[in-house]
């Protein structure tokens, strides 16, 4: 039996006049531009309800783009419940806040059909009337994402209405997100990293900074400590991000010559003994989807980052929580 899932996007100002296949690849980074070209040519994409088979078609601002993906049962398009551990920081009838562990993908995608946060949530709610009625069966309740190897605060909606409210809060930049990162090299004081981020022109797994292409990204940082990792200087930074672009902190720090320690994709793994990127979604503040009350949560540091900080930075400079 074949199954299908329709993803819907709206072209914002930063992508007006962009090729259709480029817009889709930048908006949904799990899928390559080549794959989107095939989908477009096969008649799986429509613009404002009208099928479009030209990957090079320039899209206008506010155009509604719909992409239909077809799957077979064997492709595991609809995630199955899996008994996987979840660290729940907070839960009420509308939402959960999780401390996502490193190495866990948020939702199923190309090459990752199982073992995700979504699979774990489906198990957690399997005997409950909660967590039902979502339009997107692959990403039910997912209000935002974290990279596979980034740990920390992840907000999940339990109802479609709560999901819509949370997504609107992210879009309107009503959500404050603070990350903790260890980067290579010496960075001191405070500063701001502002540029545009788009898909890397050669390596489709990467993003890249640009002067004017892609989406604007703003990250403000403060240096908490400077240390040493076997002769390699490292800096412990706190980041408050105004935007939430794909790989934002990883791309921006790499572009200024200070990649996140342990980040194999963006150059931070060289000479550093770290099993994964030293990046943690530390704090998050957002309006409650039902009451609009401001809520703030902190995800405790995982053991690997805590140990890395304790070994590489002077005692007492930063008290890991």
Find the helix or strand (DSSP H, E) in which 234 lies: strand 232-241
- Cβ atoms of 41 and 34 within 8 Å: the answer is no
CA pair distance 190, 250, nearest whole angstrom: 17
Report, as residue numbers or ranges, the catalytic residues.
147
Enter the tokens of residue 138.
């692959």
Residues with Cβ within 8 Å of residue 118, at least 6 apart in sequence: 79, 106, 107, 108, 138, 139, 140, 141, 142
Residues with Cβ within 8 Å of residue 238, at least 6 apart in sequence: 178, 179, 180, 221, 222, 224, 282
Enter the tokens of residue 287.
């309006």
3-class DSSP assignment, residue 151: strand
How far, in whole angstroms, is CA 168 from its chain's centroid? Answer: 16
Find the helix or strand (DSSP H, E) in which 198 lies: strand 190-199
């Amino acid at each position: 039996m074949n199954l299908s899932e329709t993803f819907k996007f709206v072209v914002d100002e930063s992508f007006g006049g962009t090729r259709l296949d480029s817009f889709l690849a930048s908006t949904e980074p799990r899928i390559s531009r080549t794959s989107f070209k095939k989908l477009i040519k096969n008649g799986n994409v429509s613009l404002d309800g009208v099928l479009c088979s030209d990957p090079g078609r320039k899209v206008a601002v506010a155009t509604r783009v719909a992409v239909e993906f077809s799957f077979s049962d064997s492709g595991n398009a609809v995630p199955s419940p899996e008994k996987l551990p979840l660290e729940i920081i907070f839960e009420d009838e509308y939402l959960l806040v999780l401390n996502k562990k490193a190495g866990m993908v948020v939702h199923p995608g190309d090459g990752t059909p199982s073992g995700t946060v979504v699979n774990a949530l489906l198990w957690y709610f399997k005997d409950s009337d909660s967590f039902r009625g979502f339009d997107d069966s692959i990403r039910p309740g997912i209000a935002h994402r974290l990279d596979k190897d980034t740990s920390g605060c992840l907000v999940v909606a339990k109802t479609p209405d709560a999901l819509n409210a949370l997504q609107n809060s992210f879009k309107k930049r009503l959500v404050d997100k603070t990350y903790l990162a260890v980067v290579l090299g010496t960075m001191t004081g405070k500063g701001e990293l502002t540029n545009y981020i788009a898909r890397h022109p050669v390596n489709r797994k990467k993003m890249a900074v640009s002067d004017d292409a892609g989406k604007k990204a703003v990250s403000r940082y403060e240096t908490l400590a400077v240390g040493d990792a076997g002769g390699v200087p490292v800096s412990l930074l706190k980041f408050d991000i105004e935007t939430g672009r794909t790989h934002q902190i990883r791309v921006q720090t790499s572009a200024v010559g200070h990649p996140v320690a342990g980040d194999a994709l963006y150059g931070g793994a060289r000479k550093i003994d770290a099993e994964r990127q030293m990046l943690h979604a530390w704090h998050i503040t957002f309006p409650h989807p039902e009451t609009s009350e401001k809520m703030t949560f902190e995800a405790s540091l995982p053991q690997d980052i805590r140990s890395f900080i304790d070994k590489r930075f002077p005692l007492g400079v930063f008290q890991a929580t």
